């Protein structure tokens, strides 16, 4: 196994990595700077696109590819279609206008029927005013689950029968029955707790064997859990706050991990010079699942 830093610039809050198979590049965001980054692993060139003007400075919480080109995004106050090439943003649907000003959309992923799911967070990291939303073409955003503080960890099993999502600082990842045809979820139960390990589940993905991979915020690691929720691998990283992991590369056998520098004091920044960078982990012996696109 090999772990390497692959980004040239540190992010404040690196988040939402996904592998663009068509362009053969890794894309991710710097959430508090409204930036989208794209890395070509072959040339090691990273492109940064700033959408602060198009979004009037509203922070991006998550992105996913869009069938019409560009990206679907969860942004503070609503869902947007972003065109990084033209630096434009189109509002798809507003959401959470009735919630505290400290709320914003956070972790988001597309299911394999083309719906975009996004969990919101109260940025005080304590008050449970966050929710899980489902965005489907031609319909208003639908509230699927309410009452969480820091929504994260969205992923699906390879057979589309299970959905996962986390409330980070409660140390809990939930598992639900999932109906791919209708987008309904039910029978929510605890999948795992991180009470027994260091760190909190932030962003996550699932590999082709159905194992759940989670970035452990404040835990300096990524962890692999089997389909029963048992910890089977714990991989240390040289940063305290990894934020999300996603499989990429031509064979989807590289685990890319974003991280944050935002929450460190000056002493911690000096001790962690790679905080905020993106890491590539090779040689894991497992593969990911292609990222689906949002259908509008």
pLDDT in tens, 272-291: 999 999 999 999 999 999 99
CA pair distance 236, 95, nearest whole angstrom:
37
CA pair distance 211, 232, nearest whole angstrom:
9
Per-residue model confidence (pLDDT) at position 52: 94
Report the C-alpha dihedral over residues 12, 17, 19, 22, rounded to 10 degrees.
-70
- CB distance 296 to 68 below 8 Å: yes
Listed residue (118, 161, 158, 120) closest to 136, CA to CA: 118
Average pLDDT value for residue range 206-210: 98
Find the helix or strand (DSSP H, E) in which 265 lies.
none
Dihedrals φ, ψ of 175, to 5°?
-125, 135
Per-residue model confidence (pLDDT) at position 43: 86
Residue 210: left if φ>0, alpha if ψ -120 to 50, beta else—which one?
A: left
Q: Which residue has the tokens 């106050």?
A: 77
Q: Which residues pair with 177 in a beta bridge?
A: 162, 186
CA pair distance 128, 92, nearest whole angstrom:
25
Annotated domain spans of the chain = 2-282
Q: Of 87-91, 117-121, 199-203, 262-266, which range is least confident?
A: 262-266
pLDDT band at 33 (very low <50, low <70, confident <90, very high): confident
CATH architecture of 2-282: 6 Propeller (2.120)
Say which residue, 43 or 70, is predicted with more confidence: 70
Cut 0.85: pTM above it: yes
Token couple for 214: 């989670």
Q: Residue 2: how many CA atoms within 13 Å on its side-chain side?
A: 7
Is residue 108 over pLDDT 90?
yes
Indicate the burial class of 29 (C-beta count within 10 angstroms; 0-12, 13-18, 19 or more).
buried
CA pair distance 245, 215, nearest whole angstrom:
6
Percent of the chain with pLDDT over 70: 100
């Amino acid at each position: 196994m090999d772990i390497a830093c692959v980004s040239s610039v540190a992010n404040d809050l690196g988040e939402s990595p996904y592998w663009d198979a068509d362009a053969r590049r890794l894309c991710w965001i710097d959430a508090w700077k409204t930036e989208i980054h794209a890395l070509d692993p072959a040339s090691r060139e990273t492109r940064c696109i700033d959408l602060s003007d198009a979004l009037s400075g509203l922070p991006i919480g998550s992105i996913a590819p869009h069938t019409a080109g560009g990206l679907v995004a969860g942004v503070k106050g609503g869902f947007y279609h972003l065109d990084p090439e033209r630096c434009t943003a189109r509002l798809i649907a507003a959401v959470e206008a009735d919630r505290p000003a400290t709320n914003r959309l956070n972790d988001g992923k597309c299911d394999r029927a083309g719906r975009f799911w996004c969990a919101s967070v109260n940025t005080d990291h304590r008050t449970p005013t966050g929710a899980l939303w489902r965005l489907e073409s031609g319909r208003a955003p639908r509230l699927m689950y309410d009452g969480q503080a820091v929504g994260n960890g969205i992923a699906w099993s390879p057979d589309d029968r299970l959905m996962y999502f986390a409330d980070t600082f409660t140390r809990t990842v939930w598992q639900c029955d999932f109906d791919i045809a209708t987008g309904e979820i039910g029978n929510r139960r605890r999948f795992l707790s991180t009470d027994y390990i260091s760190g909190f589940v932030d962003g996550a993905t699932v590999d082709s064997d159905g194992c759940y991979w989670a970035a452990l915020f404040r835990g300096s690691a990524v962890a692999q859990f089997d389909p029963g929720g048992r910890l089977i691998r714990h991989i240390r990283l040289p940063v305290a706050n990894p934020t999300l992991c996603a499989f990429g590369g031509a064979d989807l056998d590289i685990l890319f991990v974003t991280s944050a520098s935002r929450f460190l004091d000056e002493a911690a920044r000096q001790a962690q010079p790679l905080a905020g960078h993106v890491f590539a982990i090779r040689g894991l012996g497992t593969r990911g699942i292609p990222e689906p696109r949002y259908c509008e």
